[in-house]
Amino acid sequence: MANTTYNWYPGHMTKARRAMEEDVKLVDLLIELLDARCPIATRNPDIDKLGQGKARLVLLNKSDLADPAVTESWAKYFKDKGIQTVILNSQRGEGMRQINAAVQAACQEKIERNKKKGIINRPMRAMVVGIPNVGKSTFINSYAKKAVAKTGNKPGVTKGKQWIRLSKTLELLDTPGILWPKINDEKAGFCLAMIGSMNDEVINLDDMCLQFIDIMKKEHPEIIEEKCGITVEMGAEEALTAAAMKRNAIKGGGKPDLEKAIRFIIDDFRSGKMGRITLERP
């Protein structure tokens, strides 16, 4: 499959990017949201440059949809790089309690530096960044739930920026920074398409689904057999036919509805009905 299958370059990217570069200057800490099912594909490599000199925290979000053992090894991968990491389910608030400690640890150096300059009790300022659909808004809402109120405009800060006071020690910029994924290789494109971070209309869903079935046959043969009736020796057409039959997706004339089968398989992966499946391993 050609890499171009997953090429998708929205026009408003440059503007969003510029806005974010401005916002980054205002914060001490970058909270980077990644999808636990494919942390590398959902990570924009520019973040290292953008985040130079800033404290960093990685959140492996949507962990409820990912293979827990693989998520643990991803957490280790980032921690080994010296980045504080928390495994999270923003939808249910799982992992939230570990965040404050991780923020403190991530900002330790900055707090010490401030102290030496005689600056004490200045809250750390954080900003959430990530590619579309990783759960930035869900995370901010969930994390800010107990926040007293927006602190409003502050003198000396760009007009119009709203800060959510989370505690005496932390303020969060209420608008997340949107980064665009870098589609460096076919695997990254495939992952982003699978998790729904690209518009389905620009994706070849048939190819994507068949690629997913191949991965499932290799890595989770028991799941793909149980959920879709697909066995490892089946070819593409046979597999889709089996999946259609399994779900009673039948067209007029008793023919299997392969389009519908493809839709089922993709939707079941995205919703977690297929199981907790991770697409990338460290």
Ligand X SMILES: Nc1nc2c(ncn2[C@@H]2O[C@H](COP(=O)(O)OP(=O)(O)OP(=O)(O)O)[C@@H](O)[C@H]2O)c(=O)[nH]1
Among 37, 43, 54, 62, interactor with ligand X by CB under 6 A: 62
241 binds ligand X (CB under 6 A): no
Q: What is the dihedral of CA 199, 201, 203, 207, to 10 degrees?
A: 130
With contact defined as beta carbons under 8 Å apart, do 99 and 91 qualify? no
Q: How far is the CB of 137 from ligand X (least distance, A)?
A: 3
Closest CA to 257 of 243, 273, 270: 243
Calpha distance 12→7 (Å, rounded): 15
> By rule CB under 5 A, what count of residues binds Mg ion?
2
Part in contact with Mg ion (CB under 5 A); list of ranges 7-15, 28-36, 114-122, 133-141? 133-141
Among 104, 137, 162, 169, interactor with Mg ion by CB under 5 A: 137
Query: Which residue, chain included where needed, has tokens 């939230």?
Result: 96
3-state secondary structure of 56: strand
Among 42, 71, 85, 89, interactor with ligand X by CB under 6 A: 89
Part in contact with ligand X (CB under 6 A); list of ranges 11-19, 61-69, 105-113, 160-168? 61-69
Calpha distance 141→128 (Å, rounded): 12
197 binds ligand X (CB under 6 A): no
100 binds ligand X (CB under 6 A): no
Part in contact with Mg ion (CB under 5 A); list of ranges 114-122, 131-139, 158-166, 257-265? 131-139
Please list every residue from 18 through 77 that binds Mg ion, using CB under 5 A.
none
Beta bridge partners of 125: 171
With contact defined as beta carbons under 8 Å apart, do 279 and 194 qualify? yes
> Between residues 10 and 282, which has the closer beta carbon with respect to ligand X?
10
Two tokens, residue 114: 């401030």
Calpha distance 54→50 (Å, rounded): 9
Residue with the shortest CB distance to ligand X:
135
Part in contact with ligand X (CB under 6 A); list of ranges 70-78, 129-137, 186-194, 255-263? 129-137
- DSSP-assigned letter for residue 198: S
Residue type, 155: P
Query: Which residue, chain included where needed, has tokens 């020796």?
Result: 233
Residue with the shortest CB distance to Mg ion:
137
138 binds ligand X (CB under 6 A): yes
What is the binding site for ligand X (CB under 6 A)? 61-62, 64-65, 89-91, 130, 132-138, 178
